[in-house]
Amino acid sequence: MERSPKPFLVLTLRRTGGTSLVDFMYRVTPFPAAEDEPFNRRRVWGKVTTRYESDGNTTNLDASVDGLLHERPNIKHCLDIVPAGITSSLIDACARRGYEIFLLTRRNEVDRLVSLALAEATDVWGVAEAKQIYPQILAGEISVPPISVDQYIRRARLDAAKLGTTVRLLRHRRVHYQWLVFEELYQSDLDIRTFAAKIAGKLGVEIQSDDPRLLSFVSGSGQGSRSIEAKVGNTDILRERLERSVVC
């Protein structure tokens, strides 16, 4: 018996990884894709965020968020860049509309936070940009300002709090979700094609092992930000302090 396809909501933190997974999910579902991190203040639904920050009106927020989902777009949402109220409203609206909800995290928070610090210091967020800019950094042609260590120690605490709040919300409201861990997807002996087929199945889509849409997932590569760590001041200090204070 055929299943009806379902849209998805991926809840995550910036620089968790998993871009190729989300790209694959976009490809296999028939629903439109919202811009990544659409509630980011500078992106397509950013006005909803700034309005909520200004007036704190949850009734208006819920109505706005629900209205944005009338076409059931697929959404990748970063918890760490918006108020918790935005995430709460989005989860409720997606649950009502039958979304499949995924929580994507990284076991090694130190690597994630260092990657975030490097991305913000260099303003390089994707593989294509890295291929262009990183060689210039390594050659000394581009100078990168040193990282503010204390800023990312605070960021670690804030992100942990946001993640904890989200997990409690999902459980308290009995929202069904699947927790995905980056390292279990990309750094284990797991058959990535089998896993991808299971994810597609969750979305109500059946795919075969030779489906060309698997290619972006299986062949996806990282940005390689570790290669420039020695060229960005305080990165070693940040990594050392995070390793002492963050469970990874």
pLDDT of 1: 44
What parts of the chain have a pLDDT lower than 70?
1-2, 188, 190, 216, 218-221, 247-248
Q: Has this prediction a pTM greater than 0.85?
A: yes
Distance in angstroms (rounded) separating the CA atoms of residues 176 and 41? 28
pLDDT of 228: 96
pLDDT of 221: 64
Smallest Cα–Cα separation from 99: which of 17, 34, 177, 164?
177
pLDDT tens profile 192-237: 778 888 999 999 999 887 888 887 676 666 788 999 999 999 999 9
pLDDT of 48: 98
pLDDT of 219: 63
Q: How many CA atoms lie within 13 A of 7 on its CB side?
A: 21
pLDDT of 84: 96
Tokens at residue 245, please? 């204070």
Specify whether the CB–CB gap between 73 and 34 falls below 8 A: yes
Tokens at residue 56, please? 């704190």
CATH class of 8-113+149-218: alpha beta
Specify whether the CB–CB gap between 41 and 50 falls below 8 A: yes
Distance in angstroms (rounded) separating the CA atoms of residues 182 and 151? 24
Which neighbouring-strand residues pair with 33? Answer: 74
